[in-house]
Amino acid sequence: LKMPDAQVIFFTNNGPAIQIPVPKGRTVTGKFYKNVVLRKLKNYYKSRRPKTGLKYVRLLHDNAPAHKARIVTDFLESEKVTVLPHPPYSPDLAPCDYFLFPKLKYHLSGRRYNSRNALGSAVYQCLMGVPIEEYEKCFQKWIDRLKRCVLAGGEYFEGQSKLK
């Protein structure tokens, strides 16, 4: 993944956890993901859960190659992190796709930023401006979407009428 102004963002039902800018022109490889991203996530949890840290965290990843890299899966297994299953090509089941990215797109659309730091700051302000209740609803919506996926026989359902 080469993206000009990429950010890695983790969030929970309590709001944003960490936001990591990806250096310009940097490819997010398994090595970068483990050594930079997951290290910062581990530090985040260590500061909030000193006794357990990352242990027993449930992590929802999409199927990006960096997430599936052996170095990453081995690290997460050694930390006793449960990676929740995520079917391929399922943006309807990815909270970033149906919740976070639309909010960021709305907030950032049509604006120009003089630096990557200014953009990162705008992303941070947007994330912090979302009420915690909306993050909570996001995960309830995720559970509802999982149920809809089962009812649809695993087929993509976004945009279809509500299934019963």
| Residues 19/7, Cβ–Cβ less than 8 Å | yes
Residue 1 has what pLDDT?
34
Residue 91 has what pLDDT?
81
Q: How far is CA 131 from each of CA 13, 14, 60, rounded to the nearest angstrom?
A: 11, 9, 21
> What global pTM score does this model have?
0.82
Walk along the chain (164 residues) and give the pLDDT tens digit of each residue. 333 468 899 999 999 999 998 888 888 999 999 999 999 999 999 999 999 999 999 999 888 999 999 999 999 999 999 999 888 878 889 999 999 999 999 999 898 888 888 888 999 999 999 999 999 999 999 999 999 888 888 777 766 555 44
Q: Determine the Cα–Cα distance for residues 94 and 114; give it in Å rounded to an integer.
A: 31
Residue 34 has what pLDDT?
97
Cβ neighbours of residue 162 closer than 8 Å, sequence gap 6 or more? 148
Residue 113 has what pLDDT?
87
